[in-house]
């Protein structure tokens, strides 16, 4: 288990170099990420496929990596590519007409959410062909149609599968794929709509991705470089609603249902994916000292509860190391 997190006294931190310029020893697996490295190594030796990437948010420097070049199934994480395309369309079609600044706000949080315009308010109906179970709220609600921006918020907040399928029917997988290529993604793709069962003619997975590309993508979103600044802020706003803090983010101490208030100087936006034998999370965590973009995916034999809990514990241990780095 990780050692308890200890906040350094302010006078010590003022004299210390910024985290983004730490020495190699501190940035190595033998330094601040030692516990996470040991935990993930133990999982790998037990047969779990581990891929991970952690980048310093300011410099882009690789702080931690495990097979980060591999393209592996990432379940619902790939929905973020759909959100980027939705946000880009809202930005492209709405911003000129509104003359809005990317620093427009909503909900009182400066610089987080751009003001929605006509495109984001377009209403989409759900159909029988969109129906799917699993994660999400819309399948349990009576309302048959919602604005595009609300559907994107549902995807960001609850990985909503029905909202994903309705958005994909409007946007198209080809457009999402083209946006990914424009962003330089070669090993990260949203492959299909969400299905309750996958047949021999369907894509074998909802999405695949490499930890290196995913952590880099989230760093670009944070920096306003995914499509454009307004689109990036929309995506951050949707993902900041995320309620799944069961994996890496379980170490950060946030309220899962409301964590966009800069509590204790920390901010988070993340995207998770879960499927049988798959746990995946990508996110950006910022703190008083530094920030990180991270991506972790575990593929494991989900044969029993202890196997699953061991994976979640390993992800939480790495999360504790990330928290120590930024805090």
**pLDDT tens digit string along 102-132?**
444 333 333 334 444 566 668 999 999 999 9
138: tokens are 């819309």
pLDDT in the model for residue 60: 96
For residue 248 the two structure tokens come to 């890496």
pLDDT at position 22 is 38
Q: What is the pTM of this model?
A: 0.85
Alpha-carbon radius of gyration of the chain? 19
Given this model, what pLDDT does residue 19 score? Answer: 43
Low-confidence ranges of the chain (pLDDT < 50): 1-2, 8-30, 97-116
**Tens digits of residue pLDDT in 298-308:** 999 999 999 99
Task: Tally the residues of the chain.
Answer: 327
Measured CA to CA, the distance from residue 228 to residue 225 in angstroms comes to 5
CA-CA distances (angstroms) from residue 161 to 34, 127, 134, 168, 273?
36, 13, 7, 10, 11
Assess contact for 107 and 250: CB atoms under 8 A. no
The pLDDT, as a whole number, for residue 311 is 98
Contact 288, 86 (CB under 8 A): no
| Residue 225 CB partners (closer than 8 Å, separation 6+) | 232
């Amino acid at each position: 288990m990780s050692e308890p997190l200890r906040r350094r006294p302010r006078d010590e931190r003022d004299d210390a170099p910024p985290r983004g310029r730490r020495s190699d020893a501190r940035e190595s697996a033998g330094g601040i990420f030692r516990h996470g490295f040991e935990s993930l190594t133990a999982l790998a030796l037990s047969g779990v496929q581990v891929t991970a990437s952690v980048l310093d948010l300011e410099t882009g420097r690789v702080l931690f990596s495990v097979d980060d070049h591999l393209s592996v199934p990432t379940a619902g994480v790939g929905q973020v590519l759909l959100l980027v395309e939705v946000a880009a369309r809202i930005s492209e079609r709405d911003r000129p007409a509104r003359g809005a600044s990317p620093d427009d706000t909503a909900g009182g949080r400066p610089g987080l959410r751009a003001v929605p315009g006509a495109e984001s308010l377009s209403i989409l109906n759900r159909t029988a062909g969109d129906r799917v179970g699993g994660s999400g709220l819309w399948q349990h609600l009576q309302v048959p149609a919602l604005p595009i921006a609300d559907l994107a918020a549902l995807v960001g907040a609850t990985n909503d599968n029905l909202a994903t399928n309705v958005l994909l029917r409007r946007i198209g997988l080809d457009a999402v794929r083209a946006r990914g290529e424009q962003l330089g993604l070669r090993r990260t793709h949203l492959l299909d709509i969400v299905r309750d069962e996958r047949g021999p003619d369907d894509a074998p997975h909802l999405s695949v991705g490499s930890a290196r590309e995913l952590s880099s993508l989230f760093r670009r979103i944070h920096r306003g470089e995914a499509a454009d600044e307004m689109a990036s802020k929309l995506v951050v706003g949707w993902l900041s609603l995320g309620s799944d803090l069961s994996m890496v983010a379980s170490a950060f101490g946030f309220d899962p249902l409301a964590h966009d208030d800069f509590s204790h100087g920390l901010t988070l936006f993340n995207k998770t994916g879960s499927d049988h034998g798959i746990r995946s999370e990508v996110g950006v965590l910022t703190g008083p000292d530094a920030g990180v973009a991270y991506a972790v995916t575990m593929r494991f034999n989900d044969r029993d509860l202890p196997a699953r809990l061991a994976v979640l514990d390993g992800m939480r241990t790495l999360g504790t190391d990330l928290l120590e780095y930024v805090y």
